[in-house]
Amino acid sequence: MAVGEFPWPEVHPIAGVRLGTASAGIKKPGRRDVALIEISEGAAVSGVFTRNAFCAEPIHICREHLSQRTPRYLLINSGNANACTGEHGRLAAMLTCQTVAQHAGIDAEEVLPFSTGVIGVTLPAQKICEALPEAFENLSETGWYDAARAIMTTDTRPKGLSMQLELGGKQVTISGIAKGSGMIKPNMGTMLGYIASDAHVAQTVLEEVVHRVVNASFNRITIDGDTSTNDALILIATGKAGNPMIDITDKEDIEALCAAYAAIAQGLAKEMVRDAEGATKCVEIRVEGGANSKECLDVAYAICHSPLVKTALFASDPNWGRIAAAIGYAGVPDLDRKTVKVWLDDDLIIEQGGCAETYTEEAGQAVFNRPEFTIHVDLGRGDAREVLWTSDLSHDYVRINAEYRS
């Protein structure tokens, strides 16, 4: 089940990036569950990772390797998270890095490992190592679709996006894939994202861009309030487009590049919400009028994480009192309920501390019947604003997670 349709778009090749997949049989025999991403020498690579204290062993290794070398290969597996596995998990992840390095003739520190799937089970490294020749053989600039499918867990459809723009008089292409449909409340976010461009970008610039991009996209979605142990976002810039290198002084180009990466990331993030486990709704929570960003986010998260709001969304029941209650307990200091206004799309439902005189149950019902809509809150106390995207809480969400290991 997912909200709306998402036919696989045209995902443009990125010069300097090749992707290959293989079947290691980690969880299901015959399923392609390994993806390998090859990055050309001289590229800039930057990443952000989950802040979960129980982060997976591959995340520890990624951080170490990124601090030492520029990655040449990204190795991703689905079906096993290799999280909470201690030294055994670390050795397993390192073995896969070493095997990639042997095949490619590089150092193990130039390989970043990523895993997603069941927590608490050591990675079957030997299966992955045995599948790597197939992944290398399948490397191709057009391998985005197969890679997007290989990294899926409970996702119902692969997620990819692409765009082109002009930078420094040259056409620049940006393409990306991501996975994630449950255990989603990124905090850097089970999600993985890989976005590459052929732009020529200084490493210091890309490191700034990745943080801005994640905060405008993957850090603005929540499905169930659970931050995964394995979340990661990697940005790649191969430098093959021929544009003059964008360095820290090129403010205009940095803004354009950041906006383009963010557009891809935000599109992928919204698609995660549409494909949330058991989802029937994708809802934007827009909060403005806060004294600061924290107030807006506190209110938005209170609405997003309220089981009563989420079940009302699933029932298509415009029970707006649940929204009011969530705003009220969000912890905004000295909140004056009489200054708060709330809309469902364009229909005002709350003002002056109660139901708006113009509101009708029929209007609310019409909005809640839509698969996608906006809950818009104005706190009336400042100029800050924030946006989150979330899904409903359905019978299928409970079933999928109850049966996840079976």
SS3 246: strand
CA distance 5 to 201: 35
Q: Give the start-end residues of each E strand in 98-240.
A: 111-116, 159-167, 170-179, 192-197, 221-222, 232-237
Report yes or no: 139 and 19 within 8 Å, Cβ to Cβ: yes
Cross-strand bridge partners of residue 77: 34, 115
Strand, helix or coil for residue 298: helix
Contact (Cβ atoms closer than 8 angstroms) between residue 396 and residue 278 = yes
Element (H, E) at 210: helix 203-215
The Cα 260–Cα 198 span in angstroms is 12
Given 154, 190, 222, 390, the catalytic residue: 190
CB neighbour class for 130 (10 Å; exposed up to 12, middle 13-18, buried from 19): middle
**Burial class of residue 370, CB neighbours in 10 A (0-12, 13-18, 19+):** middle
Active site residue 280: no
Structure tokens given for 265: 């990331």
Angle at 53 between CA 48 and CA 54, to 5 degrees: 100
Phi, psi of 194 (to 5 degrees): -135, 115
Give the integer Cα–Cα distance in Å for 186 and 184. 6
Enzyme catalytic residues: 190
